[in-house]
Amino acid sequence: MSKEREAFTENDKLVLFTEVDGMCPLCPNALMYEKKKQNRKNFEIAHIYPLNPKKEELELLKDEEKLSTDPNDLENLICLCVSCHTKFDKPRTIEEYKELVAIKKTLLRESKDRLLWNDTKIESEIVEIIKLLSEEDVDLTKEDILAYDPKEIDRKVNNTITPLTKRKIKRNVQDYFNIVKTKFVELDKITPLTTETISSQIKTHYLLLCKEHKDINQKVIFDSMVNWLSKRANQSSDEASEILISYFVQNCEVF
């Protein structure tokens, strides 16, 4: 018996559109375009696992992961540009199916991560450190750069982190650890226990991520922590947030 395609609500469409940041996840196409001073839709809502699979599709996908038992569930739906939707459906291939499942799983994880932001606060003093790193011309002395041997990070990361991210963390620790630590000391003199409070908040969010995603890898954790800190502190400098999360990797609150 064929299942009917649901008439998705405007809220459903908005959730799926926002989930992909208004860009087709399979190509660089924007999902809206302007013509004659009006915004027009260039997307369709695609079923990842087909709503009414044909006989050959049932055979093709019989051993593959399903994101939901209900094909009309939002977890089995994704916004694609019209061109990519047509290409994905006709004909459906195992490689493209696996790719879209992987993309959707990442999007679902990121959505869950954003929900965790409500559960972990961050002290306002962290903004001062981000501004120090992003807005001021920090003078790196030889003592700062040589203060920490970046090889120390090797003990704390595993093979789920990429070489580029590991190198980034090492460089951040090597260059900025003393500067960040000195700033925390200054903040503690003004408001005692600032360092302990912020360290605890960083650790709590890290543990919540690990609890929510038991199979999460360190690269994803690092990126999620950076994104959370940047957005929670209402800052646009991901680089400064990367330096701070690297600091807390060295300081043992992360990993």
How remote is the C-alpha of 120 from its chain's centroid?
16
pLDDT recorded at residue 90: 87
Tell me if 56 is assigned to some domain: yes
Tell me if 3 is assigned to some domain: no
- 51, 85, 117: which is the final residue of a domain? 117
Tell me if 57 is assigned to some domain: yes
Whole-angstrom Cα distance, residue 71 to residue 78?
11
| Higher pLDDT, residue 139 or 153 | 153
Please count the structural domains in the chain. 2
Cα four-point dihedral sign 13, 18, 20, 21: positive
pLDDT recorded at residue 114: 85
| Higher pLDDT, residue 116 or 65 | 65
Whole-angstrom Cα distance, residue 225 to residue 168?
15
- 97, 117, 137: which is the final residue of a domain? 117
Q: What is the pTM of this model?
A: 0.77
Tell me if 40 is assigned to some domain: yes
Q: What are phi and psi of 224, to 5 degrees?
A: -65, -40
Q: At a CB cut-off of 8 Å and minimum separation 6, what does 242 contact?
A: 168, 172, 226
Q: Both 127 and 235 in a single domain? A: yes
Structure tokens at 17: 């559109």
- 93, 117, 141: which is the final residue of a domain? 117
Q: Is the pLDDT of residue 169 over 70?
A: yes
Tell me if 2 is assigned to some domain: no
Q: What is the average per-residue pLDDT within 156-173?
A: 92
Name the band, by pLDDT with cuts 50, 70 and 90, for residue 142. Answer: low
Q: Is the pLDDT of residue 1 over 60?
A: no
Q: How far is CA 184 from CA 47, 125, 179, 194, 247, in A?
A: 50, 9, 9, 7, 11
Percent of the chain at pLDDT above 70? 91
The mean predicted confidence, pLDDT, of the chain is: 88
Q: Is the pLDDT of residue 140 over 70?
A: no
Name the band, by pLDDT with cuts 50, 70 and 90, for residue 148. Answer: low
Summarize pLDDT for 172-224 with one digit per residue, the tens.
998 898 889 999 999 999 999 999 999 999 999 999 999 888 778 999 999 99
Structure tokens at 110: 């990121």
pLDDT recorded at residue 143: 58
Residue (of 127, 134, 48) closest to 94 by Cα position: 48
The torsion region of residue 222 among left (phi > 0), alpha (psi -120 to 50) and beta comes to: alpha
Q: Which domain holds residue 19?
A: 10-117
Whole-angstrom Cα distance, residue 82 to residue 42?
6
pLDDT recorded at residue 107: 94
Q: Which amino acid is at 182?
A: T
Name the band, by pLDDT with cuts 50, 70 and 90, for residue 80. Answer: very high
Q: At a CB cut-off of 8 Å and minimum separation 6, what does 237 contact?
A: 130, 133, 134, 230
